[in-house]
A and B are shown apart, each in its own frame.
Chain A
Amino acid sequence: MTSLTLCHAEPRRLGPLGTASALLLPIAVVNAIGFLWPVVNLLKMSFREAQASGALGAGYNLDTWTNALTDSFTLELITNSVGVSLLITVLTLIASYPIALYLHRSTGTWRTVLMVLVVAPLLTSAVVRTYGWIAILSDRGLVANALMALGMAEPPRLMFNLTGVVIGLTEILMPYMILALLSGFGRLDPRLEEAALTLGASPLKTFWRVVLPLTAPGMALGGLLCFVLAISSFVTPKLLGGGRVFLLATEIYDQAIVTLNWPLAAALSMIVLVVFGISLTLYARALRRIA
């Protein structure tokens, strides 16, 4: 065997594993410094003690957590956030479903144009779109002026309250929902509807019995996506709520930047993550039931 030496093998090759490690090193460093370490640090921070000055106590304890979880304001914050996010999710689903179904049935250039219209808002800053909603919902905005032109003396306030936040977030989350629905519509073969129709089902019955069940996985995915995005959204509630709508995300920012109570902000963040985890579990369970 010795006469068969591999004289052509390269002398200083890293080998596939060495090369892979070298290529993955930069991203691993970024991930460790910018993700793993901060998240672990965040968890640790929630067990630190906040002092009035914004400084941190030396040791670790459960004070922040016990305070947060016994404080009625925090509990209201959590139930409010979850409730509002659920409402927004349902509204987003209702508003997005017709668009997704229509897109699924359109073809060619027209479909491309519509896709651009769906995706373009997604790529536009949330600040810009929220600003658009201010223009529509404010006291001198489109809706108020239109209602006054119709003779209403005092149009209802649509901004700086929960109504504005719900309307704005519903619109802002629609593209995500539409894309999620579309990805789930793959199973919806129009021939199935035709089959149902030929079997004597009315269009409405066909929708309830055939279309809706087949699109359920897409709806579940879109629902999950919108719920987690709603509960963690910050810009829209802040601008459209005008400081009068208190949600988990806005409170995290205020505690971190304004009050400088980092342990509380960290604990609230952890609560958001727990809500995330619960919704993921529910989603997985729902998906199993549908499948």
Chain B
Amino acid sequence: MIHAEPAEMTRLAQGQGFLSLRGLTRRYDHFTAVDDLNLDVAKGELVAFLGPSGCGKTTSLRMIAGLVPASSGHIVVDGRDLTGVAPYKRDMGLVFQSYALFPHMDIARNVAFGLEMRKVPKAEAAQRVKEAIAMVRLTGREHHRPAQLSGGQQQRVALARALVVRPSILLLDEPLSNLDAKLRDEMRTEIRDIQKRLGITAIFVTHDQMEALTICDKVVVMNHGRLEQVGTPHEIYEHPKTAFVAGFVGRINRLSGRASGGVAQVAGITVSAPGFEGDVDVMVRPHRMVLSTGPAPADAGLHQLSGTVTRATFAGDILEYEVEAAGTLLKTEASTRGGEALLAPGTPVTLSWRPQDTFVYAAS
């Protein structure tokens, strides 16, 4: 991520990435939906905008699409400043959460619409519509109306309609949230496959961290209109820069401690906290905590806490535990791969985890 000073704007407008956002801001009367967003997306990348509802991810997408005017800042695609350009001249494809298919046109007419607007010759258009419909595996449904198709099929039509015009950028606004769980997984991989095959630059807005982590090259985590962190799924998950990112992407245990001199004291143990002073939040992911009964395995390299099981839940693939340790309730889980039995509440246990799985943040 590159932070642009206004003076540098002209130079940056030439574009570091295929798509560059420079200080993109959207203010409403009483709040700022998107605040100074700076981002570079390389050609062919699939980037997720991830965050809770109201974090500004959809507003950002709609500003890129041109459906919401930016209060300030710039949108540059392939060296061309598109800020203020009408949506119909931006040459982007947008897939809506609600699909937004034309209810009065059949599938073929829906897909052909963008080509018609671009005055593509009839024969070529027909060929491209055929290919696009084949690409989303809907051959044979050309003359169905949208209302006759299932949600998943409608979403595939929306995808074909957006892609058939070969847009410079594909924008996807929560495309999977109206589908049921099984279909969602299928469509997720399908979208990823098609995007890779076409090599198209794509932005994928979602509130679902699984979607963002599993199919995207890069994840942009947003909160309260601000950018929290940009990185690969691995970076976001393993090295969350802020407490918000750590808590939003994956589950998390939170412990309060105090830092001084590069280390933090928390729940009676010492963790490394370079650069922190005063109150800190120490976070560890539940499934990175290994639960063991009996005497704790002596391993100087691990952080360890002793506690008692207060709640045990059998969840099929895993066993979920709540452990009270040093006055805090911590969540953890154990695999059932070896046929492990559920521990009874009250069982004394030890939680151990690797130092690199410990995240430290200034207390909020």
Which A residues contact B (CB, under 8 angstroms)?
1, 3-4, 6, 8-10
20 A-B contact pairs sorted by A residue (CB < 8 Å): A1-B9, A1-B10, A3-B10, A3-B13, A4-B10, A4-B13, A4-B74, A4-B81, A4-B83, A6-B81, A6-B83, A6-B84, A6-B85, A8-B82, A8-B85, A8-B86, A8-B89, A9-B84, A9-B85, A10-B86
Alpha-carbon distance between A140 and B89 when the two chains are bound, in angstroms: 75
A-B contact count (CB 8 A): 22
CA–CA, A10 to B88, complex, Å? Answer: 12
Q: Which residue of A lies closest to B74 (CB)?
A: A4
B72-99 residues with Cβ-Cβ distance < 8 A to A are 74, 81-86, 89
Residue on A nearest B90 in the bound complex, by CB: A8
Complex interface: chain B residues within 8 A of A3 (CB): 10, 13
**CA gap between A3 and B10 in the complex, in Å:** 7
Known pairs A4-B74, A9-B85; list 9 more (Cβ under 8 Å): A4-B10, A4-B13, A4-B83, A6-B81, A6-B84, A6-B85, A8-B85, A8-B86, A10-B86
**Alpha-carbon distance A62/B86, docked complex (angstroms):** 61
In the complex, chain B residues whose CB is within 8 Å of the CB of A6: 81, 83-85
Give the distance to chain B from A159, nearest Cβ to Cβ, in Å.
Answer: 53
Tally B residues with Cβ within 8 Å of A: 11
What's the Cα separation between A10 and B84 when bound, in Å? 10
Contact with A along B86-128 (1 / 0, CB 8 A): 1001000000000000000000000000000000000000000
Chain A, Cβ-Cβ closest to B22: A4
Task: Determine the chain A residues whose CB is within 8 A of the CB of B13 once the complex forms.
Answer: 3-4
Q: How far is the CA of A1 from the CA of B10 in the complex (A)?
A: 6
**B82 surroundings in chain A (CB, below 8 A):** 8
Q: Which residue of A lies closest to B81 (CB)?
A: A4
B10 partner residues in chain A, CB cutoff 8 A = 1, 3-4
CB distance from B141 to the nearest CB of A (A): 33
Interface residues of B (CB under 8 A from A): 9-10, 13, 74, 81-86, 89
Q: Is the interface of B mostly helix, strand, loop or mixed?
A: mixed
The residues of B that contact A1 with a CB separation of less than 8 Å are 9-10
Q: Which 5 A-B pairs have the closest CB atoms?
A: A6-B84, A8-B85, A4-B81, A3-B10, A8-B89
**Closest B-chain residue to A8, C-beta based?**
B85
B residues in contact with A8, CB < 8 Å? 82, 84-86, 89
With both beta carbons as reference points, the residue of chain A lying nearest to B10 in the complex is identified as A3
B352 CB, min distance to chain A CBs, angstroms: 56
By beta carbon, the residue of chain A nearest B84 is A6
Q: For the complex formed, measure the closest distance between the CB of A8 and the CB atoms of chain B, giving whole angstroms.
A: 5
Contact partners of B86 in chain A: CB under 8 A: 8, 10
Q: Across the interface, which residues of A come within 8 angstroms of B74, CB to CB?
A: 4
Query: Residue on B with the closest CB to A10?
Result: B86
- Docked Cα-Cα span, A262 to B130, in Å, equals 73
A4 contacts which chain B residues (CB < 8 A)? 9-10, 13, 74, 81, 83
A4 (CB) vs chain B CBs: closest residue: B81
Q: For the complex, give the distance between the alpha carbons of A10 and B86 in Å.
A: 9
Residues of chain A within 8 A of B89, CB atoms compared: 8
In the complex, what distance in Å separates the CA atom of A147 from the CA atom of B81?
88
Q: How far is the CB of A6 from chain B (nearest CB, A)?
A: 4
Max chain B C-beta neighbours (<10 A), residue from A3, A6, A8: A8
- Output the least CB separation between A160 and chain B (Å): 56
User: Which chain A residue has the least Cβ–Cβ distance from B14?
Assistant: A3
Query: A28 to chain B: closest CB distance in Å?
Result: 28
For B11, give the chain A residue with the smallest CB separation. A3
Residues in B whose Cβ lies below 8 Å from that of A9: 84-85
Nearest CB of A to B70, in Å: 12
User: Which chain B residue shows the least CB distance to A2?
Assistant: B10
The smallest C-beta distance from A283 to any residue of chain B, in angstroms, reads 35
> In the complex, how many angstroms separate the beta carbon of B265 from the nearest chain A beta carbon?
52
- Which residues on the B side are within 8 Å of A10 (C-beta)? 86
Rounded to whole Å, the gap between the CB of B118 and the closest CB of chain A is 16
Residues of A within 8 A of B83 (CB): 4, 6
Most buried by A among B9, B74, B81: B81
Give A1 to B83 CA distance when docked, in angstroms.
12
**Cβ of A96 to closest chain B Cβ, rounded Å:** 38
Rounded to whole angstroms, the CA-CA distance of A4 and B22 in the bound complex is: 12
| Minimum C-beta distance from B8 to chain A (A) | 12
Q: Which residue of B lies closest to A3 (CB)?
A: B10
* In the bound complex, CA of A4 to CA of B85 (Å): 12
Whole-angstrom distance from the CB of B77 to the nearest CB of chain A? 12
Query: How close is B256's CB to chain A, nearest CB, in angstroms?
Result: 47
In the complex, the chain A residue whose C-beta lies closest to that of B82 is A8
- How long is the Cα–Cα vector from A52 to B82 in the complex, in angstroms? 75
Q: How far is the CA of A10 from the CA of B81 in the complex (A)?
A: 15
Closest to B9 in A: A1
A4 to B9, CA, bound (A): 10
Q: How far is the CB of B78 from chain A (nearest CB, A)?
A: 14
- Distance, CA A172 to CA B84, complexed state (A): 57
Instruction: Find the A residue at minimum CB distance from B76.
Output: A4
Per the bound structure, the CA–CA distance linking A4 and B76 in Å amounts to 10
Distance (whole angstroms) from the CB of B88 to the closest CB of chain A: 11
- Least CB distance from B338 to A in Å reads 53
Nearest CB of chain B from residue A19's CB, rounded to whole Å: 14
CB A36 to nearest CB in B, in angstroms, measures 33
- When chains A and B are docked, how far (Å) is the Cα of A220 from the Cα of B293? 73
A8–B91 Cα gap in the complex (Å)?
A: 13
Q: How far is the CB of B79 from chain A (nearest CB, A)?
A: 11
Whole-angstrom distance between the Cβ of A3 and the nearest chain B Cβ: 5
Chain B residue, CB-CB nearest to A6: B84
> In the complex, how many angstroms separate the beta carbon of B299 from the nearest chain A beta carbon?
58
Q: A62 vs B231: C-alpha distance in the bound complex, in angstroms?
A: 82
Q: Give the most central of A3, A4, A9, A10: most B CB within 10 Å.
A: A4
Nearest Cβ distance between residue B19 and chain A, in whole angstroms? 16
Tell me how far the C-beta of A10 lies from the nearest C-beta in chain B, rounded to whole angstroms: 8
Kindly provide the distance from the CB of A185 to the nearest chain B CB, expressed in whole angstroms: 31
Please measure, in the bound complex, the distance between the C-alpha atom of A66 and the C-alpha atom of B156, giving whole angstroms: 77
